[in-house]
Amino acid sequence: MTDVLKNDRFLRALRREPTDTTPIWVMRQAGRYLPEYRATRERAGSFMGLAQNPEYACEVTLQPLERFELDAAILFSDILTIPDAMGLGLSFAHGEGPQFARPVRNAADITKLAVPDMDGELRYVMDAVRLIRQELHGRVPLIGFSGSPWTLACYMVEGAGSRDFATLKTMCWNEPKLAHQLLDTLAQSVAAYLIAQAAAGAQALMIFDTWGGLLGPAPFREFSLRYMAQIVAALKADTHARELPVILFSKGAGQHLAEMADTGCAALGVDWTMNLADARRAVAGKVALQGNLDPAVMRASPEVIRREARAVLDSYGNHPGHMFNLGHGITPEVDPEHVKVLVDEVHAYGRALRS
Amino acid sequence: MTDVLKNDRFLRALRREPTDTTPIWVMRQAGRYLPEYRATRERAGSFMGLAQNPEYACEVTLQPLERFELDAAILFSDILTIPDAMGLGLSFAHGEGPQFARPVRNAADITKLAVPDMDGELRYVMDAVRLIRQELHGRVPLIGFSGSPWTLACYMVEGAGSRDFATLKTMCWNEPKLAHQLLDTLAQSVAAYLIAQAAAGAQALMIFDTWGGLLGPAPFREFSLRYMAQIVAALKADTHARELPVILFSKGAGQHLAEMADTGCAALGVDWTMNLADARRAVAGKVALQGNLDPAVMRASPEVIRREARAVLDSYGNHPGHMFNLGHGITPEVDPEHVKVLVDEVHAYGRALRS
């Protein structure tokens, strides 16, 4: 834990300080597109077997760093560990998305929910953070993360993935107090979870609000943004976590960047449907930005990947505060060689942009 | 065809003329939430059997008008009739989305495609339009429609539904000329299709760009918007179709409204993720707006439906040029009584708003 950080580009960019080039990491960089990831998952037997075993989680977290000159590692885990620890029974049916054996549907279900024990049910996550920090030897910083309260609630109430998560939306409209009770319990849990990850050694924190963009503007503020702001405030009140930059990422919520920037977070993730020049104007220098190459570009030819990467870098321009990333997670069919092409181009062109 | 139009609220709003109250229709109003629709579909044997039979298509088009005081009818059909007529072999697997037996993947496939014969393969659509106009007896205007070239191409190249339609995106990046050849053939086909619907009796035309919002800003302009603009221009050059107002609807593309308003269309559809007050500012009085209640609201209680409908009406305000609708199609589990609640509230509050 006391290793000096050898590559601090990512943390410097998060603080909007000058860097020699643009740092890059890739959402879901430890994922199915890597054959070595698939091999470890095979050995682990299941996705949850992989995520809940600190040695396996450490192994797959480090795999992409062996191949590519990435500027950050991100804890390998799932966004749904908190509801699983609350007793909902998370599983991943083969080839399908997440499922909960015991979804949350009514006041009795919601009243029963308690903030999970970070040294109990969720200890495996903190063990993984500690082990990864140790094995990283200060090569790059480690990002800890959580799903947002809104996104966790989407799955908890629906019981599985959904196109529109209308079950939770209906609860928000018909029984707003109940929805707020659920979201408040989740916000407390996410704050405790991220504080514990910080204490275990995470050096930056990210909140994934995958489904915030399904909400209209007023419900987005009331049911998603409000609870992310509550978490950021709780982190700022913690002696240790307050030092860590927080990244908020609401997919499909580009129109809300200005309000999101006012939460006290350090950076915002931006999906690929928005130009970074527009995003910069929207946040008016208050936060750094992370993104935003269309993940589908990774399936195109190397020369297209290079050209589109340069377009993203150009749209941000020669200003501090840009962490390159895809606008959403990398998909399983991407050729790993294409990731090398991307990482190398971002570093080379990022350097050229600064000179 | 010569019946005088008894309710012209919808067409007046499209022209941004004053109306006694706000007109309303509902995307997919002839759909599975209606038991009488399910009964007709049962008799037809399959979805395509329903869509390709003018009598059945007419029957289901009129069903929601028997129940609710809707201000427009929309042709019952599918957005994928054009690629089906091009020989791709459209089917709907039970409980699943559309599938093409012969997807389009390469230059040979694309070069073979020709604009379908509107009096041949697509005659059933024009027959349905003629029959519906006759059976409407001028009660309300009839909307004709098509999928956008981009959205048709998404399905034609992927062969089925997809989360990201990365196959077509990859073609756009790796082989842009080929993608443009496909999109141009589709734009010519859609223009001919809408002109034929106008000649058959449609009184307004709508283009559904369901997947335009999956594109980043530059590709949206190049691969989606450009071809919708080409279609609007072709319609304006047709003696008959030029009289018909055209509505463009790109889901998830709220940031592009200003550019879309410059195509010469009469109105834009707006999904529920954007406030109509912001949308009005974006289009600066150039076009009317259609939308934008979150379809999930229809699953909430009647009092919530009324409150949220009023919020949509308030966000547009007391200005001409608003056609109320959902922000996307109505879903099968909605109680038909809730549609009555919505329609009645929009008319009552729309009247109050004007006084």
ipTM for this model: 0.94
Query: Residues B118-141: pLDDT tens digits?
Result: 999 999 999 999 999 999 999 999
What's the token pair of residue A65?
A: 């760093």
- Please name the amino acid found at residue B308: E
Q: Collect contacts of B31-39 with beta carbons under 8 A, ≥24 apart.
A: B31/B329, B31/B330, B31/B332, B32/B332, B33/B330, B33/B331, B33/B332, B33/B333, B33/B334, B33/B335, B33/B336, B33/B339, B34/B63, B34/B64, B34/B67, B34/B336, B35/B336, B36/B60, B36/B63, B37/B63
Confidence of residue B96 (pLDDT cuts 50, 70, 90): confident
Q: Is the minimum CB–CB distance between B132 and chain A shorter than 8 Å?
A: no
Considering only CB atoms, which chain B residues are within 8 Å of A173? 297, 300-301, 304, 308
Query: Residues B285-329: pLDDT tens digits?
Result: 999 999 999 999 999 999 999 999 999 999 999 999 999 999 999
Q: What is the pLDDT of residue B219?
A: 97
Considering only CB atoms, which chain B residues are within 8 Å of A281? none
Confidence of residue B94 (pLDDT cuts 50, 70, 90): confident
Q: Kind and range of the H or E element at A36?
A: helix A35-44
Q: What is the pLDDT of residue A93?
A: 79
Confidence of residue B233 (pLDDT cuts 50, 70, 90): very high
Considering only CB atoms, which chain A residues are within 8 Å of B218? 275, 311
Q: What is the DSSP letter of A87?
A: I
Q: What is the pLDDT of residue B93?
A: 79
**Whether the model pTM is above 0.90:** yes
Confidence of residue B2 (pLDDT cuts 50, 70, 90): low
Bridge partners for B117 per DSSP = none
Distance CA B89, CA B293 (A): 34
Considering only CB atoms, which chain A residues are within 8 Å of B166? 296, 299, 331
Q: What is the pLDDT of residue A84?
A: 97
Q: What is the DSSP letter of A73?
A: E
Q: Which residue of A has its CA nearest to B303?
A: A174
Q: Which of B170, B214, B272 sits opposite A300 (nearest CB)?
A: B170
User: What is the share, in percent, of chain A residues with pLDDT greater than 70?
Assistant: 99
- Give phi and psi for A71, each to the nearest 5: -100, 5
Q: Is the minimum CB–CB distance between A215 and chain B shorter than 8 Å?
A: yes
Query: Residues B151-164: pLDDT tens digits?
Result: 999 999 999 999 89
Asked if B267 contacts B290 with a C-beta cutoff of 8 angstroms, the reply is yes
Q: Is the minimum CB–CB distance between A111 and chain B shorter than 8 Å?
A: no
Q: Which of B164, B174, B300 sits opposite A173 (nearest CB)?
A: B300
3-state secondary structure of A300: coil
Considering only CB atoms, which chain B residues are within 8 Å of A299? 166, 169-170
Q: Which residue of B has its CA nearest to A303?
A: B174
Neighbours of A60 (CB within 10 A): 22
Q: Is the pLDDT of residue B28 over 80?
A: yes
Asked if B153 contacts B186 with a C-beta cutoff of 8 angstroms, the reply is yes
Distance CA B169, CA B176 (A): 9
Give me the mean pLDDT over the A137-158 stretch: 98
What's the token pair of residue A87?
A: 């007793």
Q: Kind and range of the H or E element at A308?
A: helix A302-316
Average pLDDT, chain A: 97
Q: Which residue of A has its CA nearest to B213?
A: A273
Query: Residues A178-218: pLDDT tens digits?
Result: 999 999 999 999 999 999 999 999 999 999 999 999 999 99
3-state secondary structure chain B: CCCCCCCCHHHHHHCCCCCCCCCECCCCCCCCCCHHHHHHHHHHCCHHHHHCCHHHHHHHHHHHHHHCCCCCEECCCCCCHHHHHHHHCEEECCCCCEEECCCCCCHHHHHHCCCCCCCCCCHHHHHHHHHHHHHHCCCCCEEEEEECHHHHHHHHHHCECCCCCHHHHHHHHHCHHHHHHHHHHHHHHHHHHHHHHHHHCCCEEEEEECCHHHCCHHHHHHHHHHHHHHHHHHHHCCCCHHHCCEEEEECCCHHHHHHHHCCCCCEEECCCCCCHHHHHHHHCCCCEEEEEECHHHHHCCHHHHHHHHHHHHHHHCCCCCEEEEECCCCCCCCCHHHHHHHHHHHHHHHHHHCC
Any alpha helices (H) in A201-238, and if so which ranges? Answer: 217-219, 226-236
Interface test with A, best of B256, B273, B304, B310 (most A CBs within 10 A): B273
Between chains, do B297 and A173 touch, taking CB under 8 Å as contact?
Answer: yes
Bridge partners for B34 per DSSP = none
Q: Which of A216, A300, A331 sits opposite B273 (nearest CB)?
A: A216
Q: What is the pLDDT of residue A140?
A: 98
Q: How far is B254 from chain A (nearest CA, A)?
A: 9
Q: Is the pLDDT of residue A30 over 80?
A: yes
Considering only CB atoms, which chain A residues are within 8 Å of B273? 213-217, 252, 255
Residue B13: closest CA among B331, B317, B320, B349: B320
Considering only CB atoms, which chain A residues are within 8 Å of B213? 273
Q: What is the pLDDT of residue A113?
A: 98
Q: Is the minimum CB–CB distance between A36 and chain B shorter than 8 Å?
A: no
Active site residues of A: 28, 32, 41, 78, 155
3-state secondary structure of A263: coil
Q: What is the DSSP letter of A328?
A: S
Q: Is the pLDDT of residue A1 over 60?
A: no
> Please, which residues 67-106 of chain B have a Cβ atom closer than 8 Å to chain A?
none
Query: Residues B60-71: pLDDT tens digits?
Result: 999 999 999 999
* Distance from the Cα of residue A293 to its chain's centroid: 16
* B155 part of the active site: yes
Q: Is the pLDDT of residue A60 over 90?
A: yes
Distance CA A312, CA A284 (A): 18
From residue B62, give the alpha-carbon distance in Å to each of A183, A218, A316, B291.
43, 35, 52, 21
Q: How far is B300 from chain A (nearest CA, A)?
A: 5
* B78 part of the active site: yes
Asked if B292 contacts B309 with a C-beta cutoff of 8 angstroms, the reply is no
Between chains, do A275 and B173 touch, taking CB under 8 Å as contact?
Answer: no
Rg, C-alpha atoms of chain A:
19
Considering only CB atoms, which chain B residues are within 8 Å of A164? 295-296, 331
Q: Specify the pairing of strand B90-92 against strand B98-100.
A: antiparallel
What's the token pair of residue B203?
A: 């009184």
> Taking CA B217 as the corner, what is the angle to CA A348 and CA B172, rounded to the nearest 5 degrees?
75
Distance CA A211, CA A164 (A): 9
Query: Residues A244-270: pLDDT tens digits?
Result: 999 999 999 999 999 999 999 999 999
Q: Is the pLDDT of residue B1 over 60?
A: no
Asked if A342 contacts A307 with a C-beta cutoff of 8 angstroms, the reply is no
Asked if A151 contacts A77 with a C-beta cutoff of 8 angstroms, the reply is no
Average pLDDT, chain B: 97
Q: How many CB pairs under 8 A join A and B?
A: 88
Q: What is the pLDDT of residue A2?
A: 58
Q: Which of A170, A214, A273 sits opposite B216 (nearest CB)?
A: A273
Q: Is the minimum CB–CB distance between B177 and chain A shorter than 8 Å?
A: no
Q: Which residue of B has its CA nearest to A300?
A: B170
Question: If you search the block for the tokens 């939308």, which residue do you land on?
Answer: B291
Distance CA A200, CA A77 (A): 15
Asked if A52 contacts A98 with a C-beta cutoff of 8 angstroms, the reply is no
Distance CA B9, CA A166 (A): 32
Q: What is the DSSP letter of A296?
A: G
Asked if B292 contacts B274 with a C-beta cutoff of 8 angstroms, the reply is yes
Task: Give the CB-side neighbour count of residue B327, counting CA atoms within 13 A.
Answer: 26
Distance CA A336, CA A347 (A): 17
Distance CA A150, CA B88 (A): 41
Residue A166: closest CA among B25, B151, B272: B272
How far the first Cα of chain B sits from its last, in Å, is: 35
Beta strands in chain A (DSSP E): 73-74, 90-92, 98-100, 142-147, 204-209, 246-250, 267-269, 288-293, 322-326
Q: How far is B342 from chain A (nearest CA, A)?
A: 15
Q: How far is A236 from chain B (nearest CA, A)?
A: 30
Query: Residues A284-336: pLDDT tens digits?
Result: 999 999 999 999 999 999 999 999 999 999 999 999 999 999 999 999 999 99
Distance CA B132, CA B76 (A): 9
Asked if B159 contacts B103 with a C-beta cutoff of 8 angstroms, the reply is yes
Query: Residues B237-288: pLDDT tens digits?
Result: 999 999 999 999 999 999 999 999 999 999 999 999 999 999 999 999 999 9
